[in-house]
Each structure stands twice: as C-alpha cells, then as structure tokens.
Structure 1
Amino acid sequence: MTEDPTLHDEALDWIIRQRDPAFDAWPEFAAWLGADPARAEVYQAMADADRDLPAMLPAAPRPQAVPARRVGRRAWLGGAVAASLVAAGSYSFLSLRPEPYEVATAAGQTRLLVLVDGTRIDMNGATRLRLDRNDERFVELVDGEAVFTVVHNEARPFEMRVGGATLLDVGTVFNVKRHKGATDVAVAEGEVIFNPQTENIRLPGGRWLRTVDKETRLVIGEIEPGVIGAWRTGRLVYPGTPLELVAQDLSRNLGMTIEAAPAVAGRRFRGVISFGRDRQGAVARLGPLLGVQVRGAGDRWLLTDEDG
C-alpha cells in the first residue's frame, strides 16, 4: 500500500499545534488519529523523534571570554542557523515537561478516548481522568470507572495511578474503579502489576484486587473475565456485592442519585442488573430484583427495607 504523501505533513502539523499550551482540539485530534491506523504509526514515530531531539544536540559549551572581531556574513548566517537549531532543541526539551489536562464525564454519560499510541479508554459515568499531553503512556484515574485496552509496548509500559497506587501494564485489558477511598482493579486479559516498587503484586487475567485508603489489607480474588467491563453493554454483574456499592454503580451508570439506607447497605446481592435507555424502568425493576423497597422520584432514589 502506498503511503499518503500528506500524512507526514498532517502529523507534523498536529505535533506543532500541541506545543501550544492553549491547544484544546483533542477531540478533533482523536478523530483524525482513529480514522486510519497508519496515522497513529506515523504520528508516534515523529513524536518520538521530537522527544529525542534534545539528546541528539551537543551540550552547550561553557561561556569563555573572547576578543571582539568582525563577523562576516557567511559566519553570521552559520551562527544564526546553529542558534535556531539550539532554540528548536530547547523548545522541544521544554515541551517534555508534564502538561496535565483532565477529561470528565457526567453521571449517566460515557466517553471513548483513543490515545496517541492507540490505547483505548472507555470512560463510565461520573468519571474524571488526568492525562499528560507529553506522555501518552500515563493516566491517573481521579474518580469513577474506566476500561483500559492498552497497546503492547514492552519498552514503554503503560503507567496508571489511582488513589496513591501505581498500576504498570505492557498490553492488556482491565477495569479500574475509584470511589470514596476504595479502588477496584479487575484484569480481563494480559497482566497488571500493582505497586511494582512496593507490593509488586501481579494480576493476570481473571484476577481482581480491592484496596481501601488507610487500610493495609488487600483483597484479591478471581473473577470471570467475560463480565469485566460489562457496564459497556448495559449489564452490571455482581458475585455477592453489598448494596451500598451496587447503589454507587447504579448512580454512575443511570445518571441518578441512588443510595442504600443503612438497614440494607450491607446486604449482598448476587445477580445481574440490566439497564438501557429506559432509566425509570430500570429503577422500577430494582425492588423485586434486590429484595428492597425503592422510594423516591425523579433522579433521587433510596433503597430501603421492605418493612421500612
């Protein structure tokens, strides 16, 4: 297949535009990138070359006092070219500094992000991510839930931070949830390393981990890979989960405020909750399914005891 001769020009244009701190055309960039796999390959190669430029430039010599002399036009032009190269290298070096930005969704809203290297992030509702414009292999989940489908790159593992912990991955599919001081990690494919510098726990496909802030105990168990990230298809699957956590998931996915009363918050539910565009219908089905009374109206609902 013949490569589009304009592809390099387009990729270079995006790299130059992204150096501007005010650049905000990330949705347009993601659309351009996702339209053709060749674009991601060319862009990545040019971006890597741009990053490596400072290392290729010689170190600046220490200033020395020299006697003044007349500078010819040719020498002046040569110096100007050299100065422009150093300036370009310095600009590229400065662009390597972290440039964080955030992407968020409202409750009930989902969003797909495609990073420069092709990694996909499916964001659930009420989710906030912090990314770095100069490092496509890093992301922080501030709050909410997302499925990460990471492109394999053994030389540059994908690093994710969540709740003070670090997840390291070289190419896999996993779901991460962060809410009210608790973090849940479930791996569908490949392997994720939890806190490689401390606990160094390896989670292969079919394993999940839960950690709570200020608690030293980690809970690790098995999970059916096929149910990980099932929220993307309108299903919430529970192996025996407290209703308090079920209510949090429902709020995130349905775009409503759903809470579990203290009397039922600790009850465990085992089963599947299906939902679609009919949010009110989904809420109406919760009572018999969960064995509780559902009270409320509009976008605020309470799961309470049947006799309450």
Structure 2
Amino acid sequence: MDNRIKNLFERYQSEQANEQERIIVETWFADLEKEQKTELNETEKIALFAPMDDAIDRMLFKPRRLLIYNRYLQAAAVILVAFGIVLFKYQHTATKKASVISYTLISVPKGEKKNLLLADGSTVFLNSGSAIRIPSNYNVKSREVSLSGEAYFEVKHNAAKPFTIHSGKLLITDLGTAFDVKAYPEDREIHVAVESGKVQVGKNKPNGQFELYAAAITRNQQLVYNERDNSHAISPVKTSDVIAWQQNKLSFDNASFGEIAPLLERWYNVSVKLNGRSACRRYTVSFNNEPVDHVLNVMTRLAGITYSIKDKVVVINLKNCRNMK
C-alpha cells in the first residue's frame, strides 16, 4: 500500500488535500459511519481500507497491485491509531458545513397577495409588493424572519422559541398573537397593529444594546415608528380596518394624495404621477375589490381632481383639488 492511505489522511487533516482526495476521505468516512463497529477483527481491518485503496488507484490511473497480507495489516493498524484524530477532523468539517445558513426569499409582486404556512404552523399573509426572508434553520433553535412590505401574522406561540420579525431597524417579537406589520421602505415608517394577544417592539442600538419601545402592545393598539427622526408613538386603532386588505378592501385612512399614490401603485401594479399642488384635503374612504378607474372616479367626485390612464401609468392632476380649508 506504500503508505498512500496514511499520507492521504495526513493531507486531509492538515487541509492540504485537493478536492478529489477530500472526496475520497469523506466518502470513506460516510460509508464507515453506516457500518461502524466497536471491535474489528483482522479480516475486517484489511477490508476496511480496500475501497480507499481502490479509489487512490483510480485517481492515480495505476493498475491494481497484489497486496501482501501482513504489510496491509500493519499499515491499517497504523492508520487506525490516528483514526480518532482524523474522524474528529471529518466530523468537525461536516458540522461546520451543516451549520451554514441559507435563506429563502418569498416576494409578492405588486397587484398580488400570497398566503404562507411556516414550518412551525404559523401563517403569514403577504400584501402586494412585499417580501419575507426565512432562514434554513427556522424553528430549529429559534424562529426569526425578515420582512419588507406588509404582512399579517398568525403565530403559533412557543415560549421556548419566540417568533421575531426583523423589519427595518425594529425587532418585533410575538408574545402569543395575531398582528399586522407594515414596513415598506419608501414609506420611512413601520406600523405594528395587534388584533389579538401581545407584541413586544424594540430595536438594537449601534452599540449592540436592545432598546425597548413597547413591552406589550395589545388588541386594537398600534405602534408607529418614524425612521426619519427615530421616534415612535402608540395609539388606539381599529385593527379590523388595518387588516381589511386581506379581504381585498382598499382603505384610505385620513390619507393625503401623497400617501394614496403609493397605495394605488402597490394595489393595482400601476405607476402614479401627481401633477400640481399637494395641499389637498385628507380622505377616509374604502373600496371593496374595485378596479382602479372606479376608485379614481370616486376620488374625482370627492376631491375635484382629474386623471388619465395610459399603459398602466396613472396621472392625477391636483390643480383643482379641494384644499385643506
């Protein structure tokens, strides 16, 4: 055997083995783990290394040579002494590979919505133009996801594995609840509204310390975090109105046209351009699964605007809109 197996183990342990050599060693270990015994007799010790020797021959393109029994056994015994060290190295490498975390990104285009069932039985309903990122180790030791956009969560409570959402600068942790998170990056605000149960909200400061904003937001309460000035406020809210989008109800709540425009863009997958002054009144109105032109016709009567639609581009003229007075 010419010490080839021993040298191969040494190269593997010192991380000097090439890709083909590493595959030979790791394949051998994987096969060994399936059939490993506490004690090996002499015949088994010889047979133990035969597949590896064959693999080395194939790699080197050399013909198979006759093996002298005693010499093979002696070499095998030497390698078995170092077996524990190399096996540790192999297992450490395998563990390191297994610990690499990958992510699944699920995004919903504008004009669409999507329902998800997570591995722990929790459900997520994503609104238009939203995305959620789920790690491969979700529900192993923890339950953490990242959200951009808006989603409604119904969480299976597990005190040992709190459900945490990373959204912008905020960390939103479930305390056994159903709640809505709205965090579109272009809005520069994050809204957390609770339908049932409790939610904790805070953020990690630059020094790594956690800053708590609310220990327990409860039913029909909403926290609004303003990214512009790093402020937050908690106020009463009718959560059933906040989450009405799940039933395809488009709602404007004391909204200006500057706030209405991005809602229309996400809801109908159109581009909205505003022309003229923006100091118009604010409007509270709801629409039940109606097409965009019906919505704009209603806003025309309410606000005195005019509009045009061409190739999914909506132009709203605010010149004659009713002002704030």
TM-score by length of 1: 0.66
Aligned with 1:194 (options 191, 194, 201):
201
The 5 A counterparts of 1:155-234 are 155-179=160-184, 180=186, 181-195=188-202, 197-201=210-214, 202-234=216-248
The answer on whether the counterparts of 1:293 and 1:304 sit within 8 Å (CA) in structure 2 is: yes
Q: Distance in 2 between matches of 1:210 and 1:268?
A: 19
Shift of residue 114, structure 1, vs aligned partner: 1.2
Which ranges of structure 1 fall in alignment gaps of 5 or more residues?
A: 1-68
Shift of residue 117, structure 1, vs aligned partner: 0.5
Post-superposition CA distance 1:49-106 (Å, at most 9, x none): xxxxxxxxxxxxxxxxxxxx95878x95xx69x9779856753554333322321111
Q: Distance in 1 between matches of 2:266 and 2:152?
A: 14
The number of residues matched between the two structures is 236
Q: What amino acid is aligned across from residue 301 of structure 2 in structure 1?
A: P
Shift of residue 254, structure 1, vs aligned partner: 1.5
Q: Which residue of 2 aligns with 1:297?
A: 310
Task: Label 1:244 to 1:219 Cα distance change in 2 as closer, same or farther (>3 A).
Answer: farther
**What SS does the aligned partner of 1:195 have?**
strand
The answer on whether the counterparts of 2:166 and 2:172 sit within 8 Å (CA) in structure 1 is: yes
Task: Label 1:187 to 1:96 Cα distance change in 2 as closer, same or farther (>3 A).
Answer: farther
Q: Distance in 2 between matches of 1:273 and 1:122?
A: 20
Shift of residue 215, structure 1, vs aligned partner: 0.9
Q: Structure 1 residue 128 and structure 2 residue 135: aligned?
A: no
**What SS does the aligned partner of 1:101 have?**
strand
Q: Distance in 1 between matches of 2:118 and 2:202?
A: 23
Q: Distance in 1 between matches of 2:294 and 2:87?
A: 65
Post-superposition CA distance 1:111-157 (Å, at most 9, x none): 11211101111111111222211124111113x21111111111111
Q: Structure 1 residue 254 and structure 2 residue 268: aligned?
A: yes
Q: Which residue of 1 aligns with 2:121?
A: 118
Q: Distance in 2 between matches of 1:194 and 1:268?
A: 29
Q: What amino acid is aligned across from residue 125 of structure 1 in structure 2?
A: S
Shift of residue 195, structure 1, vs aligned partner: 0.8
Q: Distance in 2 between matches of 1:140 and 1:249?
A: 22
Shift of residue 241, structure 1, vs aligned partner: 2.6
Q: What amino acid is aligned across from residue 139 of structure 1 in structure 2?
A: V
| Structure 1 range deviating more: 116-125 or 224-233 | 224-233
The 5 A counterparts of 1:234-273 are 234-261=248-275, 263-264=277-278, 267-273=281-287
Q: Which residue of 2 aligns with 1:307?
A: 320
Shift of residue 297, structure 1, vs aligned partner: 2.7
TM-score by length of 2: 0.62
Task: Label 1:271 to 1:282 Cα distance change in 2 as closer, same or farther (>3 A).
Answer: closer
Stretches (4+) displaced over 4 A: 69-73, 82-90, 259-262
Q: What amino acid is aligned across from residue 256 of structure 2 in structure 1?
A: P
Q: Percent identity?
A: 20
**What SS does the aligned partner of 1:113 have?**
strand
Q: Which residue of 2 aligns with 1:141?
A: 147
| Structure 1 range deviating more: 261-270 or 112-121 | 261-270
Q: Distance in 1 between matches of 2:175 and 2:211?
A: 18
Q: Which residue of 1 aligns with 2:158?
A: 153
Q: Over aligned residue pairs, what C-alpha RMSD do you find?
A: 3.1
Q: Distance in 2 between matches of 1:243 and 1:186?
A: 23
Which ranges of structure 2 fall in alignment gaps of 5 or more residues?
A: 1-72, 204-209
Task: Label 1:154 to 1:298 Cα distance change in 2 as closer, same or farther (>3 A).
Answer: same
